[in-house]
Amino acid sequence: MHFLDQAKIYIQSGAGGPGAVSFRREKYVEYGGPDGGNGGKGGDIVFEAVEGLNTLIDFRYSQHFKAPRGKGGAGRQQTGAGGKDLVIKVPVGTQILSEDKEVVLADFTKVGQRKAMLEGGIGGRGNLSYKSSTNRAPRQHQPGEPGEELWVWLRLKLIADAGLLGMPNAGKSTFLNAVSNAKAKVGAYPFTTIHPKLGVVLHKGQDFVMADIPGLIEGAAEGAGIGDRFLGHIERCRVLLHLIDATVDDPIAAWKTVREELTGYGAGLADKPEILALNKADLLDEELMEALCAELAEASGSTVLPLSGATGAGLETVLDHVVKEIGTSPDTSEQSEDREWTPLS
């Protein structure tokens, strides 16, 4: 399945049905009179968050959504049928933004959450409603109010408890495959991960969702590499697991590069709890790993955990720290701060 986390769509609620002009022609009714009914209400545009979706790819091929209009009124005081509401199903984690991307109109963080975005037009009045003591045979009627229309942006921010980040080739995909049910692509070249991946991790009776995003390089905030567009998918995470490749020339510089990109991105990512793990420990001797961990711990002011995603060494300890942080960190699923983002070309 292709992954898409941004889409622009057009939505339009249904117009109200027209009122009817009608007069009774009944046997034994001496004077008859007007009996035109009112038009029906147009359908609303409703968004609903549902299970089983984790991409907005469907909105690449269907970009216009119009609710049905209300039916017209009829004689014998019959009111027209209302138009059915058009329910647009989106993944949990979807935000709806205004066309200028300045205002968040809705944020869906739970399954079953619904929001009526546009209301259908009210049906027009039939000529029966105009009858009065001085206007016994009115022929006035209303055509029904038009529906509302709007262009909106949909942006998906995946819902995950822990976010996995680091530079390209830090071993994030290997780690995610080792601890979860994910089957992320692994390769000996940069940017094997080109879109976010989710995995469900089960550790000591507790399960949580971990999100892996494409690697960050220096200048990602300015669009270098894949850029920082996918950082939005870890905005809702309670804790960040930062993997650093122990085999690079300068692990401390690699750590600083990612931290600078988090700060440049904003949205509170730099302030989230962070767990540092020095990966690929199986490729270095124990003494050198200890020295690198000590240097990185001194530079970062945090505990650094040795790890090998390939052999599984250190996985239990890292997951212990992740579970502990998830249990103590506040729930940040209601993320209010947003930043500008670049739509797909």
Residue 222 has pLDDT above 60, yes or no: no
Which residues are part of a known binding site? 166-173, 191-195, 212-215, 279-282, 308-310
Could you give the CA distance from residue 31 to residue 37 in angstroms, rounded to a whole number? Answer: 19
pLDDT of residue 77: 92
Asked if residue 338 has pLDDT above 60, the reply is no
The average pLDDT across 10-17 equals 98
d(CA 122, CA 142): 10
Kindly report, residue by residue over 283-310, the tens digit of the pLDDT: 988 899 999 999 999 999 999 999 998 8
Residues 202, 344: Cα–Cα separation, whole Å: 34
Range of the domain at 29: 6-156
Predicted pLDDT of residue 211 = 85
Model confidence at 73, in pLDDT bands (50, 70, 90)? Answer: very high
Residue 219: per-residue pLDDT = 54
CA-nearest of 184, 180, 211 to 198 is: 211
Question: Do 93 and 66 fall within a single domain?
Answer: yes
- Mean pLDDT check: name the lowest of 6-20, 147-161, 168-182: 168-182
Return the structure tokens found at 54: 């984790």
Could you list the residues known to form a binding site for Mg(2+), using ranges: 173, 193
Lowest mean pLDDT among 50-54, 119-123, 302-306: 50-54
Decide if 129 is inside a domain: yes
> What's the number of domains the chain is made of?
2
Q: What is the CATH number of the domain that holds 100?
A: 2.70.210.12
Round to whole Å and give the CA distance between 45 and 114.
11
| Rounded Cα gap, residues 11 and 26, in angstroms | 45
Answer for the pair 156, 94: CB distance below 8 angstroms, yes or no.
yes
Q: Is 34 found in the same domain as 109?
A: yes
In a domain, 223, yes or no: yes
Examine the domain organization and report whether 305 and 172 are in the same domain: yes
Identify the DSSP state of 237: -
Residues annotated within a binding site for GTP? 166-173, 191-195, 212-215, 279-282, 308-310
| 332 pLDDT tier (thresholds 50, 70, 90) | very low
